[in-house]
Amino acid sequence: MRRVLSFIVTVTVIACAFFALQTDDWAQADEPVSVLVEAPLGEQWIRAIETRDPEALQRVFDAGYRQVDLSTEKGKTALMVAAQAAETELCSELLKAGADVNLSNQNGGTPLMHAAVGGNLAIVSLMLARGAAMDDQAVNGWSAITLAAAKGFTPIVETLLSAGANPNLNDIFGWSPLMHAVEQNRGAIVEVFLAQGEVEINVRNNDGVTALHRAAALGYLDIVRRLIQAGARTDLQDRTGRTPLDYARQAGNAEIARELTG
């Protein structure tokens, strides 16, 4: 009899516990569901900059956000993101809203530099019209014209030169914009630079290397010829005493070696 009673009590306890769990579930289901509150526009703005998301920036801007120069901890702004993404309309709206075209991030990068990387001539022109400083240099010494030259954006290089940009700003390793154009085999941009009377064709970097040294080493015959025609010296030596001819021979560029000895 005791066993039967014990069994009945046990079953009753289990049933009550099960009912209690079920009742608790129903109670939770009847409670109001918490609503996820969207982050403030300023937080969304910063997040969009950090993730380099121009579409998100546009949405926040369209929602009425106007603290357009609010930047990340590293100093990156919405205008920089929009410029590098080649978002012309967003850049125009940001500038009209008062975005500072000459702010710089912790690496010294400016909106104009980001525009030069983005390759959009319209954005570059917008920034120049707003008074963008053309000759600012990042911590590595690169300027907007250096970036455009290395990337191969001829119209931007031409526009910057026409606006008065300095074509002879060397980076921290002594490389000029012309040398970077040569290094990347940007023949059209080399032509643009050489057409400028102010370009220092024989400038040497920290290792004593010239644009002609690099062209000879890399096998860029057309650029070698154009540099020589423009007055590049074939006798200049790097810090180890090597001339462009030595570079050509060591790289096995026989045709260039003949050009340099002809």
Compute and round to an integer the Cα radius of gyration of the chain: 32
pLDDT, mean over the chain: 89
The enclosing domain of 109 has a CATH number of: 1.25.40.20
Q: Is residue 29's pLDDT more than 80?
A: no
Q: Is residue 259's pLDDT more than 90?
A: yes
- Which residue has better confidence, 126 or 34? 126
| Count of Cβ atoms closer than 10 Å to residue 117 Cβ | 22
Q: Is residue 224's pLDDT more than 50?
A: yes
- Neighbouring C-alpha atoms within 13 Å toward the C-beta of 235: 0
Phi, psi of 190 (to 5 degrees): -55, -45
State the sign of the Cα–Cα–Cα–Cα dihedral 52, 54, 57, 59.
negative
Query: How far is C-alpha 14 from the geometric centre of its chain's CA atoms?
Result: 66
Residue 69 lies inside a defined structural domain of this protein: yes
- pLDDT for the residue 161: 98
Residue 83 lies inside a defined structural domain of this protein: yes
| Residue-range definition of the domain harbouring residue 123 | 40-133
Q: What is the pLDDT of residues 130-177, one digit of tens each?
A: 999 999 999 999 999 999 999 999 999 999 999 999 999 999 999 999
pLDDT band at 227 (very low <50, low <70, confident <90, very high): very high
As a whole-number percent, the residues of the chain with pLDDT over 90 amount to: 84
- pLDDT for the residue 18: 35
Angle (CA) 206-207-208 rounded to 5° is 95
Residue 17 lies inside a defined structural domain of this protein: no
By CB atoms closer than 10 A (0-12, 13-18, 19+), residue 108 is middle
Mean pLDDT of 221-241: 98
Tell me how far apart the alpha carbons of residues 134 and 187 are, in angstroms, rounded to a whole number. Answer: 23
Tell me how far apart the alpha carbons of residues 243 and 232 are, in angstroms, rounded to a whole number. Answer: 12
Q: Is residue 6's pLDDT more than 60?
A: no
Q: What is the pLDDT of residues 171-223, one digit of tens each?
A: 999 999 999 999 999 999 999 999 988 999 999 999 999 999 999 999 999 99
Q: Is residue 36's pLDDT more than 60?
A: no
Residue 56 lies inside a defined structural domain of this protein: yes
Number of structural domains found in the chain: 1
- pLDDT for the residue 9: 37
Tell me how far apart the alpha carbons of residues 162 and 27 are, in angstroms, rounded to a whole number. Answer: 74
Q: Looking at beta carbons, which pairs linking 130-135 to residues 24 or more positions away fall under 8 Å?
A: 130/95, 130/101, 131/101, 131/102, 132/101, 132/102, 133/102, 134/160, 134/163, 134/164, 134/165, 134/166, 135/165, 135/166, 135/169
Residue 236 lies inside a defined structural domain of this protein: no
Residue 261 lies inside a defined structural domain of this protein: no
Q: Is residue 25's pLDDT more than 80?
A: no
- pLDDT for the residue 197: 85
pLDDT band at 34 (very low <50, low <70, confident <90, very high): very low
Q: Is residue 24's pLDDT more than 90?
A: no
Q: Is residue 15's pLDDT more than 70?
A: no
Q: Write the DSSP assignment of 162-198 as a string of letters.
A: HTT--TT---TTS--HHHHHHHTT-HHHHHHHHTSTT
